[in-house]
Each structure stands twice: as C-alpha cells, then as structure tokens.
Amino acid sequence: MDCTLCGLPTLTPPLESDGHAFCCFGCQEVYRNFGADVLFNEPTSLSSTDAALLPSGNYNEAFLRIEGMHCSSCEYLIERMAVKVNGIVSAASSYATSTAKIVYDPDIIQEDDLSNALKISGYKTRLSSEGMPEYDNRMDLLRLVVGLTFGGLVMMLYVAFFYPTHLGVIEKSDFDVIGWLAYSAAPWSIFGLTTVLIIYVAAPIFRGAWIGLRARMLNMDNLLAISILAAYGYSVSQLVEGSLDLYFDVAAAIILVVTIGRYVERGAKAEATQELMKIMQSWAPKARIRWGGDYRLQPIEELEPGEHVIIWEGEAIPVNGTIVAGSAAIDESLMTGEPFPVAREPGQEVLGGSCVVEGSLEIKVGPTVESQMDNLARILWNVQSSNAGAQGLADKVARVFVPLVMVLAVIVSGLTLAFGGDPRDALLAGLATLIVSCPCTFGLAIPLTTAVGVSAALRQGIIITSADAFEKAPKIDTIAIDKTGTLSTGDMSVVEVFGDDAITKHAAAVERLSPHPIAKAIARLDTSLQADELEIHPGKGAMAQVENHHVAVGSKALFATLGWDIPSTLAAQTATIAPGEGVVSYVGWDGITHGAIVTRDQSRPEWMQVVDRLRKNCRVVLLSGAEHPSGYEDHFDDVFAGVPPEGKAAVIRQLRQQGTVVMIGDGSNDAPALAAANLGIAFGAPTTLAAEAADVIIPGERLERIFDAFDLLDTMRCRIRQNLGWALMYNAVAIPLAITGLLNPLFAALAMSASSLMVVFNSSRKIKGPPSCAIN
C-alpha cells in the first residue's frame, strides 16, 4: 500500500486517517491540514529576508527542536511550510542542529501554540525550553543492521557465483554441475534480498528524493535514487529474460555504503553540536513570578523591570538580575568561562542563562529585561546556520552540481551509444557518473567543521559568534588592543577626591547614568541626588541636570570644550598625579570647576607577557580613549591615545590599508572598531554591543586565552581548506574516470561514500594543541 500524500510504501500496519493510508506521521498531518496538492505551493507570508527588515520589538523569537529531519531539503520544506501559518513571520531551520528559529507575532499566535502549528510541515516539534528526549537511534541502527545483513548476503552470493566468472578465474561452464543453484536460485535470491534493501533500508533515500522533486529542488538523494533504480530495473529486466548480466550488487552497494556513511555522519553531527544543544536547552523563555501568594510562569518578554523572579534548584536563570533573597551555587561556565560553580548571595548580580546547581534564589529584574543566554543562543544559532563566505560558495556549487551531473550522465550514456557501445556499457558509464559525482563533500566540508569548531570553542569557554570567523585573518599583520577592560581589569576605584562632599554628590548623580567604568566607580560614592537629561561626550565625559544645576564630569578636554576654566590651585593638585597612576575627572557646574576625582584601575598581571608574545609575530598597537600616558605605551609598536569610539573605527580602517587587522576590546565603545577589523575579539565581560560586533567572545579574566582562540581558529581554518581541497581533488579525479568508463559503478559507490567519510573524519578529529601556523 502506498502513502496517499507522497506515494512511498507505507508501514505495516499503515497509519490511517479518514480512509487514507500514510507512510509516516508527517504525511498524515500534512494531508489532514492541507490536502495532497497544497504542500509545495509558494508561501504567501513574509520571507526571511523581508522579516529581517521589519522593525524590532513587534515580533518575538522562539527556538524549536525538530524530530525527523533527513537532509538539507528538510530545511527548505520546514521554512516554506512554517510561513503558511498565520502569525509566523519567518522561519529558518538548521539540519545540522535539528533546530528551527521562528519569528512570530505574539498578537496572533502564542509561543505555546508554535509546536502544534508546525506539525503541518510533517515533523514533530517541541520548544527547546521543554527539553527533548535523547536522540533514539534504534530505528537507524536497525536499518543499518538489516542493510549489513542483506547487503552482505548479496555480496557473498556475487563472490560465490558471479565475480569468479567476471574476473576470468573460472569458466561459466564450470557451474553447470550445480546449474539450478547457480543459474536460478542464486539470481532470484539476490533479487529478493536487493528488493528488501530497496523497500526498507533505502526508504530514507527515496523519501529525500521525493521531497526534492515535490519541492522542485534536486538534491543528492535524487542522484542516488536514479542510480539505484536504474541498476535494479536493468537487472530485473535481464533476470526476467533469462540473462545473468545482473547489477543488483551495484544497487546493494550504493544502499549499503550510503546507509553506513549517513549513520556515521549523524553521529559526528550530534557530537559536534552537543554544546550548542546544551545552550539551547538552557535558554529559558519563561520566568516564575509571585502572583497573589502563589507562583505563575510568565514569558520573558512580558516581564517588567523590578519584578521578582523565583529560580529553584536545577533551573536556569531566565534573565539578568540582582539577588534579593536566598543563596546558591551557580554554574556560569557558559557565560563567563568559570569552570566551577560560584557562590552567590543577596546583593550580587546573576546572569540570565547560568544554572542554579544548589539552592534557590529570588532575583529582582534589572532596569532592562535582558538575558545573556538569549543573546548567546541567537548568536550561536546564526553561526551554525549561516552560509556566509566559503560556505555560501560551497552551497551554490552543491545546488548547481546535481542537475549538472544528471545532464552529464545522460550525455555520457548517449555518447557511449553513439560511438558503438552497447546499452550495458552506456548504462554503466551513466551510473558511474551519477554515483561518483557527489556534492556531499562540498556540503559537509564547512558546516561540519564549523560545528566541531564551535563546540570545541565552547568547551574551552570561547564563543564563536561569526560564521566566517574560521575563514578570516589567515595571516595577521596588526593587532590593535583596547586598554581599559582588556589590558586592565576595568574595575575602577576612587583613590582621591579634591573637593568637598558636594563634589562627590553631584558627580555620583551624573555618573550613575553612564555605563563607563570610571563612571561606575564615581557613582558608588553617593546616592543622595538624582540626575536627568544625560549628555555623553564620548572619550571626554558626561553632563546632566542635577537639582537645577548643569553638571559636567570629565577630562580636561571636556572642560576646555565647554570653556570652563580650571582653577590654578586645583590644577596644581591634580598635577601631582603621575601618568599611569590614575585618571583625573574634573567636576563642575554652571560654568565653574569645583573639584576633581581621581580613579584608577588595576593592570592584569599577565598583560606584559601577552603583548610581548604577540609582538614576536606581528605589529601590536594600543588604542585608548584616555589622553594621558598610562604606563603601557613602552610595550607597544604604536600608540593611539585620546581616541573616541568613532575614532577607533577610523584607526582600524586606516590600519587595514596596511594589512590584516585583529581588534581586541571589551566595551560598547569598542563595538565600531570590532566591527571594522578583519577579526574582532571581545574579551572579559563584553557588553551586548561589543559581543554582537565581534567575531569571537572570550569571557573571563585570563588575557592569555586569546592564544587559545588563535590556535583554534587556525586549526579549523586548516581543516576547512583540507576538506575543500579534498572535495575538489576527488571530483577532479573521479568524474573523468567515470566518464571514460574506467570506473565501475560498484567502485564509484565506494569512492563516493569514502570521500564523505574522509571529510567527516577530518572535521571531527580532536583538537590537540596549536598547529604550526598558529600565533605562538
């Protein structure tokens, strides 16, 4: 019995609904919702590209886990079907991670309804936050065992009765004494065994080919299906006519090697993406809040600043906040790189996405509802599903390759017949061309390596945020390093105040509105006054209204710009602060400079060794927004001081004219420079802007870990080049051999599978120390 929707054979007993039989749950749901002809109609909703142009804030995002994705064609199907659902604006899916990202309108459809709505695409879906059972590979394993058993029997019968005569080891007449066994029982047994292989073991191949045809997007399964059916059909016709010119072994070999290869490939992908899955499952889209003496779960997007959220033991912290009650041991490894749980108590801040290992907490949501895990999950999903750079080129090659190979196979068969070859030779040449011309090596070369690299980086506490980070900066000419927060800890503290209490009160009120590290230190001095109408002067300071006074806090350059004179007495006092011993922030209001506050941060203990090591390989320059010397200058090749944020980006662009540039920074004011560099590295506790602008995030306090990042990027870059080189070499050698008839379809199937497994093996190798071409 065939499936009503897709036409494939059904299970025994079949899935039935309203008098129709279906091969799988997906076909049943698609037919129930849309009927047989609507599946691949063009979607009328907004495309992903259009959705990207929509104003932010009106739509929400959700991540879903998907069961039943067979190949990259499933991505296309899911995306096209999802946008048919009213309320879903756009959808993007990743075969590598079995995940989909849905952008939806909460006024039309609720997040809890997305899973049921997406069943129309023929897959089982579940919100990532609901967890997902461990991947059950028992059916795949059963299919593999059946394939090995029946395929092995086919090959044994060929070895016993066919290959000896093909190779000239014995004469065909030598089998006359066992004629019935050799000429009837063995061929028909091979026919039966191969038929089982085609119906059961090769079902995923034919399903993928059918999806490709219905979606009008040819894929590798189409090539395989044509090859299998051509070899099988030719052999059946020869068997019926009484001929023993049979090629069941070709069909069996194709099915067997592809099944083995895909089983190994799925295992490699699962291992490569396990860290990303951990992050997706840790991302909590709901928060538990107090409600009338009880608790209720509320979507994160509905939380308000200042609300209290309850987190119990074993749960993920949904948003950033401050502990108001309880204490706990918290696993922050994904956020900060800290390998061990840390103790947190009332008054301390916690990061959304970290996990409560022991204890329970009540936290107060900060001034903005923000989750580090939300940002991290989105960044990492985009990395794994992106097709930028060489991956985009490889995808285009793979898409063009399939129809091109089909045309080439037809031409080869036609030319073989035209030049006097018999139909047997023409069939074999065409089959070999179809089988050997595998775009899988192109399709796997980069995404699997990227998945392995991202996973390895996460295990080291390094976050790759750009899909083409592995392709960037193969040879580094210049490294630009931001001072505050990178070479120093960025934790400023007040060491001296020139002036009375009014100075600290007015300055603290203004600086409480500013995110700058110096401002945070000054803001801790006093909380008695409030400020508004903040005006930031990048690289110089800030101004605001405090109790009807126009207050300015900042550098000498800010006061010069304002035209506010600095009294000679105050200037003499601040002159005692030696360069590198502190930062002087002048404080004044209503045109008069009243005093100054001196702050200082601590240098990282390892900064000097890190900079000296970097200088052995490339030019290293210092970027700083401060105008005064800081004590770091003697260890750099060039120093750019007093540079505002927009100026840092201009410096990077200028440096890029002289070669490849890497920028290392941490704050929001570094974001333009990080984006302008060939490779941007956000270090420490980077702000959201810096993290989004960077290609790599290195959380934590150990500056020397940038060498781990360089080593990792270089290793994965080398593997990508090796994979692409192997793919090009394989096709350059194998296709001409197949076209000229020098490659048998059986060996073509083995070569095709071996090439894919070679890429899988090379991509999945463990990373062992820095390669020779890394910065060391």
Annotate 591-647 with DSSP letters as a single string. TEEEEEEEEE-PBPTTHHHHHHHHHTTSEEEEE-S--S--S-GGGSSEEE-S--HHH
Stated as kind and residue range, the H or E segment containing 58 is none
Lowest mean pLDDT segment, chosen from 83-92, 182-191, 365-374, 676-685: 365-374
What pLDDT does residue 443 have?
59
What pLDDT does residue 588 have?
95
Q: Strand 619-623 vs strand 638-640: parallel, antiparallel, or unpaired?
A: parallel
18 catalytic? Reply is no
What is the rounded (10 degree) CA torsion for 518, 520, 523, 524?
-110
Q: Is 650 exposed, middle or buried (0-12, 13-18, 19+ CB in 10 A)?
A: middle
Lowest mean pLDDT segment, chosen from 39-53, 80-94, 585-599, 714-728: 39-53
What is the pLDDT confidence band of residue 763, given thresholds at 50, 70 and 90? confident
Q: To which residue do tokens 């399939």 refer?
A: 402
Between these two residues, 75 and 327, which has the higher pLDDT value? Answer: 327
What pLDDT does residue 683 have?
84
Distance of alpha carbon 124 from alpha carbon 115, whole angstroms: 8
Asked if the model's pLDDT at residue 66 lies above 60, the reply is yes
What is the pLDDT confidence band of residue 22, given thresholds at 50, 70 and 90? low
Kindly state the percentage of the chain with pLDDT values over 90.
13
Q: To which residue do tokens 């070895």 refer?
A: 159
Lowest mean pLDDT segment, chosen from 16-30, 320-334, 476-490: 16-30
Instruction: Find the mean pLDDT for residues 304-331.
Output: 83
What is the pLDDT confidence band of residue 39, given thresholds at 50, 70 and 90? very low
Asked if the model's pLDDT at residue 197 lies above 90, the reply is yes
Asked if the model's pLDDT at residue 550 lies above 90, the reply is yes
Give the CA count within 13 Å in the CB-facing half-sphere of 81.
Answer: 31
Between these two residues, 7 and 303, which has the higher pLDDT value? Answer: 303
pLDDT digits (tens, 9 = 90+) for 616-646: 889 999 887 665 556 777 888 888 876 766 6
Asked if the model's pLDDT at residue 751 lies above 70, the reply is yes
Instruction: Find the mean pLDDT for residues 736-741.
Output: 82
Instruction: Find the mean pLDDT for residues 477-501.
Output: 85
Asked if the model's pLDDT at residue 717 lies above 50, the reply is yes
Asked if the model's pLDDT at residue 430 lies above 90, the reply is no
What pLDDT does residue 442 have?
64
What pLDDT does residue 384 have?
47
What pLDDT does residue 216 have?
66
What is the pLDDT confidence band of residue 559, given thresholds at 50, 70 and 90? very high
Catalytic residue among 221, 331, 374, 482: 482
Instruction: Find the mean pLDDT for residues 302-315.
Output: 82
Instruction: Find the mean pLDDT for residues 127-140.
Output: 60
What pLDDT does residue 131 have?
46
Asked if the model's pLDDT at residue 681 lies above 70, the reply is yes
Kindly state the percentage of the chain with pLDDT values over 70.
70
What pLDDT does residue 196 have?
94
Mean pLDDT of the chain: 75
The strand order across the sheet containing 355-359 reads 342-344, 328-331, 355-359
Between these two residues, 10 and 697, which has the higher pLDDT value? Answer: 697
What pLDDT does residue 41 have?
38
Q: Is 284 exposed, middle or buried (0-12, 13-18, 19+ CB in 10 A)?
A: buried
What is the rounded (10 degree) CA torsion for 248, 249, 251, 254?
180
Report the 10 Å Cβ neighbour count for 681.
27
Between these two residues, 66 and 195, which has the higher pLDDT value? Answer: 195
Asked if the model's pLDDT at residue 70 lies above 70, the reply is no
Q: Is 76 within 8 Å of 133 (Cβ atoms)?
A: no
